[in-house]
Amino acid sequence: MGIVKADKLTFEYIRRDEEGNVDSITTAVDNVSLEIKEGSFVAVLGHNGSGKSTFAKHLNALLYPTEGTLWVDGMDTSEENNTMSIRQTAGMVFQNPDNQMICTLVEEEVGFGPENIGVPTDEIWQRVESSLKAVGMYAFRKASPNKLSGGQKQRVAIASIVAMKPKCIILDEPTAMLDPAGRKEVIDTLHLLNKQEGVTIILITHYMEEVIDADYVYVMDEGKLVMQGTPRTIFSQVEHLKELRLDVPQVTELVYELQQSGLPIKDGILTTEELLQELERFR
């Protein structure tokens, strides 16, 4: 079994009126089945409100399925006894860096998770050091998170998860509030962790450029899993993506436009180099 396996996962938000009667039911995640291989870099795309965040919260046992089952590293998330081990196995980084920092010093922030799971003091310090080094923030260990840039804050948030030695990190739009330089910092850090430490990365985003280097992409819409495949196969379906309120990288869009004008150019080009190579045929 993969590190994450969902079988017909369904989650319903139930809204109640003042008397407690059911007002409306929204199906936020609708019959999603998927399996994610350990050590892979996976991206989940979808517009705001497509259900991707709700899905992510299931991976961390912050929400439980209404129907269907979700296993994280073989553990059923709806079993209460598993909650703590699941949260240790699959760490979660959220969108707003300010709202997930608990402590006033970077090193204390990174130590917070290990403290909660009862790691002995000496080992906490080792873990804090190694995880801050892994994200390149060791020099800031004595700084206050309030004084860091957005990208640096998110790297600290990632280090705080790494310090719990998870097999998998889920990131819920970690770059939505950052500037381009900060976005790049965070994405580079994630690829590094994935390659060097073998941590499974599940990146939820709506920035298409961040998805190009992923191993596999899932696209969600109205709670359903509507597309899946390698970035190349996903991005060759430009029209379908636009229907889903999404976008494609500019290179891919250019290829699409050229195709529309009648140039017989191949599908699924993701980088400038590939485009240049392909265009050589028409010289």
| Residues 181-240 interacting with another protein (rule: CB under 8 A) | 181-182, 206, 208
Q: How far is the CB of 59 from another protein (least distance, A)?
A: 10
User: Judged by CB under 8 A, does residue 272 bind another protein?
Assistant: yes
- Residue closer to another protein by CB (options 137, 164) is 164
Alpha-carbon torsion 136, 122, 146, 140, what sign? negative
Let me know the angle formed at the C-alpha of 225 by 155 and 218, rounded to the nearest 5 degrees.
40
User: Judged by CB under 8 A, does residue 92 bind another protein?
Assistant: yes
Question: 3, 28, 44, 124: which one contacts another protein (CB under 8 A)?
Answer: 124
Map the footprint of another protein across residues 145-174, applying CB under 8 A. 146, 149-150, 160-161, 164
- Residue closer to another protein by CB (options 7, 83) is 83
Question: 116, 198, 240, 266: which one contacts another protein (CB under 8 A)?
Answer: 116
User: Judged by CB under 8 A, does residue 84 bind another protein?
Assistant: yes
The C-alpha atoms of residue 22 and residue 274 are separated, in whole angstroms, by 54
- Give the H or E element holding residue 216: strand 216-221
Tell me the site size for another protein, rule CB under 8 A: 78
User: Judged by CB under 8 A, does residue 91 bind another protein?
Assistant: yes
Which ranges in 80-179 belong to alpha helices (H)?
Answer: 83-89, 106-116, 121-134, 150-162
- Residue closer to another protein by CB (options 81, 99) is 99
**What are the start-end ranges of the E strands in 17-167?**
22-36, 41-45, 67-72, 75-76, 90-93
- The position carrying tokens 């979808």 is 46
Question: 26, 33, 126, 250: which one contacts another protein (CB under 8 A)?
Answer: 250
User: Judged by CB under 8 A, does residue 79 bind another protein?
Assistant: no
The C-alpha atoms of residue 252 and residue 241 are separated, in whole angstroms, by 12
User: Judged by CB under 8 A, does residue 64 bind another protein?
Assistant: no
How far is C-alpha 100 from the geometric centre of its chain's CA atoms?
Answer: 16
User: Judged by CB under 8 A, does residue 103 bind another protein?
Assistant: yes
